Amino acid sequence: MPLPASRDITLIGAGLVGALLATLLAQRGFRVTVFERRPDPRVHGFLGGRSINLALAERGWHGLRVAGLTDAIAPIAVMMRGRRIHDAAGNTQLQRYGRDDSEVIWSVSRGQLNCTLLTAAQKAGATIHFGQRLEQIDWTGSRLQLHDDRDGCVRWHDAGVLLGTDGAGSALRQAMQATTDLGERLDSLGHGYKELEIPPLQQLPDAALTPALREAKARGEGFAMDPNALHIWPRGNYMCIALPNAEGSFTVTLFLPGTPINDGPAFSTLDTREAVQAFFARDFADAVPLMPDYLDDFTRNPTGLLATLYLERWHLDGRALLLGDAAHAIVPFHGQGMNCGFEDAVELADLLATDRGDTADVFAEFQRRRKPNSDAIAAMALDNYVEMRDRVDDPEYLLMRELERVLAARHPQRYLPRYSIVTFTRLPYAFARTRGEQQAQLLRELVRGKASLGEIDLAAADAAVAALAPLPAH
């Protein structure tokens, strides 16, 4: 029996969110067609072969679980149990993210994750057309124009119900904007990023290694640093981070202002190899010997831009809806862009599958539920940049973290650090943000003028926590 027309859905973009959503919708009996600009990464490789990884947290795992994919991803995920902070002298220290190894985040290869999701979508029945770029939409005729990268031809297709999962630079968003004002605002952060690489230990020349690392290499060890951490080199207005890849390398990212702040380093002034070299030698001396190609990487790799995208409207009645980065691109500092997008996909698939009414109502309901949450994670991601680059080695901040652990242990029903709510639960981001503000206020008052945990009035702390509403079940 043919499916009714409303069961036909067209997705633009088969990135992380599009491929997961295609899987979820196909599994729920929708007829799903996806148009993806790039060639099939399972045939042609990914991003020129560079290893780029992402941090996967509970919200992201949940999306994979609903799609039945945890068993496919778990074997390629590397556990990160905390931040490993590298000070200027090269000493490191681990700050755990959670109570124990049940509260950790995971580093996953973007390419492998995307390939697994594409295969799952096709297995569930979705049709994916690669090398097909959305160019424009004829809204009156309900047709979309695609450019076929393989033969260079331009063709028109019936549009039907459109879902935009085509990322931060969304072509569908642009086409929607051409007919209706979506209330778009792009807030540029003024900082950019550059990706570098620490190769597997076995590929590093002995001459560059410390005696301890030379021994580790001789023992056959795979990683040049602690593999089970998210490494951070906090330096005030800028920082480096590194996430482990399963094969032994690390992807290092430098986050830096575009132009100087108080005469500090910036992308605009790192314009010669000598300037880059002097900067790294001064600020990231312990990482330099582990990155034999960093000068070439720095010159060759593009500088990424960082911005937050806000839209007042995500849909054109029942014809088109944006989700994932296309609707709400955020800065990366909470590692939640994909995690949030996966939450979008699960929510939308549920709404579409249970709804018997008008698609426009479903889209409006989706926006009503998700927008407060994407606004909240956008704000918390901005906060976390300051925390990562400037606060993680500050004594007052460390005392607040220490107190937070004590309070969470004493009052598990009432105190949960904001980082934990965001990362280890699926409580709404908007809840994490308001609760986080209340808790931060409480911590600030308790640590004011105090130098150590012993000086803090725990009875007063207990009373303050008791005044918070109990946490929802999670």
Give the interface with ligand FAD as residue ranges (CB under 6 A). Answer: 12-18, 35-38, 52, 54-55, 133-134, 165-167, 171, 324-326, 332, 335-339, 341
Establish if 92 lies at the interface with ligand 8R5 (CB under 6 A).
no
CA dist., res. 92 & res. 86, Å (int): 5
**CB nearest ligand FAD: which residue?**
15
Establish if 333 lies at the interface with ligand 8R5 (CB under 6 A).
yes
Establish if 86 lies at the interface with ligand 8R5 (CB under 6 A).
no
Chain position carrying tokens 């902070």: 85
Strand partners, 239: 234, 255
Helix/strand/coil for 384: helix
Binding mask 362-401 for ligand 8R5 (x = CB under 6 A): ----------------------x---x-------------
Contact partner, 165, from ligand 8R5, ligand FAD, none, Cβ < 5-8 Å per class: ligand FAD
Burial of 1 (0-12, 13-18, 19+ CB in 10 A): exposed
Residue 32 CB neighbour total at 10 angstroms: 27
Pairs from 404-411 (Cβ < 8 Å, separation ≥ 24): 404/439, 404/443, 406/453, 406/458, 406/461, 407/461, 407/465, 408/99, 409/99, 410/462, 410/465, 411/462, 411/465, 411/466
Shortest Cβ 304–ligand 8R5 spacing (Å): 6
Nearer to ligand FAD, 339 or 439 (CB): 339
Q: What is the CA radius of gyration of the chain?
A: 24
How many H-runs (helices) and E-runs (strands) does the chain carry?
Answer: 16, 19
Establish if 279 lies at the interface with ligand 8R5 (CB under 6 A).
no
Shortest Cβ 252–ligand 8R5 spacing (Å): 10
Binding residue (CB under 6 A) for ligand 8R5 from 60, 332, 341, 417 = 332
Q: At what angle do helices 429-447 and 359-386 cross, to 10 degrees?
A: 30
Write out the binding residues for ligand 8R5, residues 418-447 only, by CB under 6 A. Answer: none
Those residues with Cβ within 8 angstroms of residue 160's Cβ, 6 or more apart along the chain or in another chain: 5, 8, 9, 10, 142
CA dist., res. 373 & res. 369, Å (int): 8
Contact partner, 388, from ligand 8R5, ligand FAD, none, Cβ < 5-8 Å per class: ligand 8R5
Name the segment binding ligand 8R5 (CB under 6 A); options: 258-266, 267-275, 327-335, 441-449. 327-335
Name the segment binding ligand 8R5 (CB under 6 A); options: 9-17, 28-36, 329-337, 450-458. 329-337
Establish if 110 lies at the interface with ligand 8R5 (CB under 6 A).
no
Establish if 198 lies at the interface with ligand 8R5 (CB under 6 A).
no
Nearer to ligand 8R5, 366 or 424 (CB): 424
Nearer to ligand 8R5, 84 or 313 (CB): 84
Write out the binding residues for ligand 8R5, residues 44-83 only, by CB under 6 A. Answer: 55, 83
Binding residue (CB under 6 A) for ligand 8R5 from 41, 234, 324, 335 = 335
CA dist., res. 308 & res. 330, Å (int): 4
Closest CA to 412 of 399, 421, 400: 421
The H or E element that residue 53 is part of is strand 53-56
Which two three-digit tokens encode residue 153?
Answer: 């031809």
Establish if 230 lies at the interface with ligand 8R5 (CB under 6 A).
yes
**CB nearest ligand 8R5: which residue?**
335
Nearer to ligand 8R5, 46 or 139 (CB): 46
Contact partner, 384, from ligand 8R5, ligand FAD, none, Cβ < 5-8 Å per class: ligand 8R5
Degrees (nearest 5) of the Cα angle 207, 210, 215?
95
Those residues with Cβ within 8 angstroms of residue 418's Cβ, 6 or more apart along the chain or in another chain: 380, 432, 433, 435, 436, 439, 440
Nearer to ligand FAD, 53 or 359 (CB): 53
CA dist., res. 327 & res. 314, Å (int): 6
Establish if 309 lies at the interface with ligand 8R5 (CB under 6 A).
no
Shortest Cβ 337–ligand FAD spacing (Å): 2
Number of residues near ligand 8R5 (by CB under 6 A) = 15
Burial of 48 (0-12, 13-18, 19+ CB in 10 A): exposed
Site of interaction with ligand 8R5 (CB under 6 A):
55, 83, 105, 193, 230, 241, 243, 253, 304, 332-335, 384, 388
